[in-house]
């Protein structure tokens, strides 16, 4: 099997299977870091929503309702992002297994 990957150590050429596997594992690990960052953003978004809901209790203004709706939407998209990044990391790890 021939895998053409840029070899960073030699400045070009084909990378070895071990280099490809190492790069895949680094990418998967970076996915874990990204997931933690997304989860932190989701927690911050939840805190923002709690504040907005507290304000909304005293007013029925459409701008506050819009702010809450957009905050909820951002939380949903962050959850989707976590799922996608997890899938990406899992696929990279699976490929490492295929490479042997």
Instruction: Please tell me the distance from the alpha carbon of residue 17 to that of residue 47, in angstroms, as a whole number.
Output: 45
Specify the pTM.
0.79
* 32 domain residue, yes or no: yes
Indicate whether 7 belongs to any domain. no
Could you read off the pLDDT of 53-91 as tens digits, one per residue? 999 988 889 999 999 999 999 999 999 999 999 999 999
Answer whether residue 81 is part of any domain. Answer: yes
| 3 pLDDT tier (thresholds 50, 70, 90) | very low
Which tokens belong to 40? Answer: 């932190």
Domain around 27? 17-99
Between 14 and 91, residue with greater pLDDT:
91
Q: What is the mean pLDDT of residues 10-30?
A: 88
Q: What is the pLDDT of residue 7?
A: 56
Q: Is residue 64 part of a domain?
A: yes
Total domain count, the chain: 1
């Amino acid at each position: 099997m021939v895998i053409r990957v840029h070899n960073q150590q030699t400045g070009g050429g084909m990378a070895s299977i071990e280099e490809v596997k190492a790069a895949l594992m680094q990418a998967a690990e970076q996915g874990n870091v990204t997931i933690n960052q997304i989860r932190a953003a989701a927690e911050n978004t939840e805190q923002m929503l709690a504040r907005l809901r507290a304000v909304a209790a005293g007013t029925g203004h459409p701008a506050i309702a819009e702010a809450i709706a957009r905050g909820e939407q951002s939380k949903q998209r962050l959850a989707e992002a976590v799922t996608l990044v997890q899938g990406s990391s899992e696929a990279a790890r699976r490929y490492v297994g295929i490479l042997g």
